[in-house]
Amino acid sequence: MAGHVVIAPDRFKGSLTAAEAAHAIALGLKRADPTLTTVQCPVADGGDGTLGTVLAAGFQQIPIYATGPTGQVVRTA
């Protein structure tokens, strides 16, 4: 019976996005056991990397202007 693994990493700050980490983990698991079924679910804690995680889940980026923490208008998404 093949195993099932849910891969849900946060990013590896400074080296991999959450999606890249999930992909690398899946590749390693499949190399070790080709019969495994994996599901990649990158996650984020709401800080840096959250937008990338949302985009990896299939959402569309919509550029907008918003007021930043210093009161200046900034371009964001």
Written as six digits, the tokens of 18 are: 């959450």
Q: What is the pLDDT of residues 25-63, one digit of tens each?
A: 999 999 999 999 999 999 988 888 888 888 888 899 999
pLDDT, the chain, mean: 91
pLDDT at site 32: 95
Q: Model-level pTM?
A: 0.73
Q: Name which of 13, 20, 29 is nearest 53 in CA terms.
A: 20
Q: What is the pLDDT of residues 3-33, one digit of tens each?
A: 999 999 999 989 999 999 999 999 999 999 9
State in Å, rounded, how far the first CA of the chain is from the last one: 44
pLDDT at site 75: 93
65 and 76 Cβ atoms separated by less than 8 Å: yes
33 and 21 Cβ atoms separated by less than 8 Å: no
**pLDDT higher than threshold 60 for residue 1:** no
